[in-house]
Structure 1
Amino acid sequence: MGIYRRLLMVGLLVIVLAFIVSYLLGVYSKFFVNAHVDLIWIHALIVGIAGIIIIEMVGRTIKDRVKSRNNETKVVGDLFEVVAYTILLIVILNELQVNVMGLLVGAGFLGIVLGLAAQSTIGNLIAGFELMASKPFSIGEKVTISTWQYGLIAPTYQHDVMVPGFTGTVSKIGIMYTEMVADNGTPIVVPNSIMNQAVIFNKKRVGKIRVFSHVEVDIKIDYSRFRDYFNEGVSKSTVKNVSIEIKNITQLAFGVDIYADGNLDDEPKIKDQLSEYALKAISRIMKEDNEAKDKENADSKDKAAEVKK
């Protein structure tokens, strides 16, 4: 409420000062011959100063209100300032008795030429407003963006597809660019036109996700034993709703896809746990097989020794 009261007081003060100055200018024009020309410039100066004061105060108030509501961008305040200063410029030119209509017609043709020459810039500007309206992400949310210009990458390991994208936490949404910070602290600046046509993975807005981990297991290891040992180990952990299935069987190995319930913040921790229990299951099987083989070799030696006797 205090902000609106201050705005009202400033507005009333500007109006009172305008009446006072207008009265003084009227008195001035009665005593000086070339007062008409001087009054034009003085009027324009007064309008300019008053306009700037009002625009800056209203713009700052809008930005403060947007920030206090934890909105993701200050585009509303920036848009207001662009429109307001454009109108102020037209009013000042009109005070200076400039043919505003002629200038607007010329500016229209110039705008067409500049629009063709700066399509990407205008595209970023329009995309910024579209992002503000659609709100696919907010400041502080961790997202991955993948642009339509690129397809999927087939990795040699693991047997899956990779989405080419940039992952980071959104730090600012401006009119022209969106800024993110990668996990290693590297700043990422993306044009809004790219953001507007990109595929955006925003897991922050999902309560629960299915955490995925893939493990390659030697083909010599029995899958049923691996599955039983893995389930035995993971059942003692806090990981919930774990499922496991075999995938991508080759001559040397078979792939195992492991899924579990979780959320975005715990995803790295759950992945580590799934991989750890998978590794323990493999190690346990290998240890048992080696012990069985050693025992078999020992029994063979004993039998051979008895035969010799």
Structure 2
Amino acid sequence: MDRGRVRSIALYIVILATVMVALLALLYTVSLFHIVPLKFSHVLYAIVIGVIIYAIVKVIVKYFERFFAAHKEYRHLKYVTFIISLIGYFIIALAVLASLGIDVSSVILGSAFISAVIGLAAQTVLSNVFGGLFVSVVRPFNVGDHVIINTWQYGALLPSYPPKYFSRDFMEASMYRGVIMDISMNYTTLLLESGDMVRIPNGVVVQAAITIRKGMVTVQARYEVPKTISFEEIAEKIKDQIAAEYDVKNLGIFIDESTMNTYIMLIRGDFPGEDADSIRSSILKKAMDIVEPMKTH
């Protein structure tokens, strides 16, 4: 928070304290010299208490409005100021009624009962709202982060056919990979690697396991090679070509499986970037350019 905002908030606090002291001094003077008839004194007390609480609520609301205006990532939380205002006005009403000698216990009990009913009826919605508040304050991730969100609330969709050996078909139980596009009051919006957009309820996000990918992606590719071609010879060539194009880490080339006439070469490494498909395509092309000419010899 910059010095200008600090001075502004300090000024509000000083003004509020001055007003409170002036009102209390006025109230004391009126009570001491009986300027106002006794039967109207409780009305004056109620007005003074109402004004003081109203001033406190306005200062708090003003602070949050300035905070949200200065931080773009929190602008969707402007509803918090409405909730604070609503609670503040309710407290003012209770304080004024109590100052007027009205029993507010029934009002409090009735409000608690209504709040419980509304809370049970809107449990899912409220969990998303408070989840959005939690995500926005704690910031487990930011807009633009490439993340993996693993949740247990949604079941996995299983293929109806057995995965082919060379396919990249795999089953991920409720896992979402992509870039965070927006964090709203109810949903976190994720741009999936498939290009689809998914909105995950914030009540689910706060219970999820979240992996933030920091510019590296693990890629693996398989390629079938005849046994007449030496594995050591092509492995070194593929390694040299990959290392010349990418700043790859933990690069390894292995024999993953063997058939009667061929073996399956597995190429795996950690590559910079997030686009695993394009990197995998490049690896397979390099393997193809090296292996295929050797089959004719």
Compute the TM-score of the two structures, normalised by the length of structure 1.
Answer: 0.66
Is the CA contact 2:227–2:263 (under 8 Å) kept in the aligned structure 1?
Answer: no
Superimposed CA distance per residue, residues 131-166 of structure 1 (whole angstroms, 9 cap, x where no aligned partner): 457643233322122321334756545255243543
**For residue 284 of structure 2, what is the aligned residue in structure 1?**
278
- Please state how far the C-alpha of 1:190 moved relative to its aligned partner: 1.9
Is the CA contact 2:225–2:291 (under 8 Å) kept in the aligned structure 1?
Answer: no
Cα separation, 1, equivalents of 2:285 and 2:227: 15
Count of aligned residue pairs for this structure pair: 280
**Greater Cα offset, 119-128 or 157-166:** 157-166
> Residue type of the partner of 1:7?
I
**For residue 218 of structure 2, what is the aligned residue in structure 1?**
211
User: Which structure would you say has the larger Rg?
Assistant: 1
Q: Which residue of 2, 5, 8 corresponds with 1:3?
A: 5
The answer to whether 1:167 aligns with 2:177 is yes
The answer to whether 1:262 aligns with 2:266 is no
> Residue type of the partner of 1:11?
I
SS of equivalent to 2:205:
helix
SS of equivalent to 1:57:
helix
- Please state how far the C-alpha of 1:9 moved relative to its aligned partner: 2.3
The answer to whether 1:197 aligns with 2:197 is no
Seq. identity, %: 19
- Please state how far the C-alpha of 1:191 moved relative to its aligned partner: 1.1
SS of equivalent to 1:202:
strand
**For residue 117 of structure 1, what is the aligned residue in structure 2?**
121
Cα separation, 2, equivalents of 1:52 and 1:186: 43
Instruction: Check 1:129–1:140 CA distance in 2 against 1; reply closer, same or farther (3 A cut).
Output: same
- Please state how far the C-alpha of 1:106 moved relative to its aligned partner: 1.8
**For residue 298 of structure 1, what is the aligned residue in structure 2?**
none
**Greater Cα offset, 195-204 or 7-16:** 7-16
Compute the TM-score of the two structures, normalised by the length of structure 2.
Answer: 0.68
Is the CA contact 1:217–1:254 (under 8 Å) kept in the aligned structure 2?
Answer: yes
Give the unaligned 5+ runs of structure 1: 293-309
Is the CA contact 1:247–1:254 (under 8 Å) kept in the aligned structure 2?
Answer: yes
Cα separation, 2, equivalents of 1:132 and 1:167: 20
Give the unaligned 5+ runs of structure 2: none
- CA RMSD in angstroms, aligned pairs only: 4.6
Is the CA contact 1:142–1:168 (under 8 Å) kept in the aligned structure 2?
Answer: yes
Instruction: Check 1:145–1:82 CA distance in 2 against 1; reply closer, same or farther (3 A cut).
Output: same
> Residue type of the partner of 1:234?
I
Cα separation, 1, equivalents of 2:123 and 2:279: 49
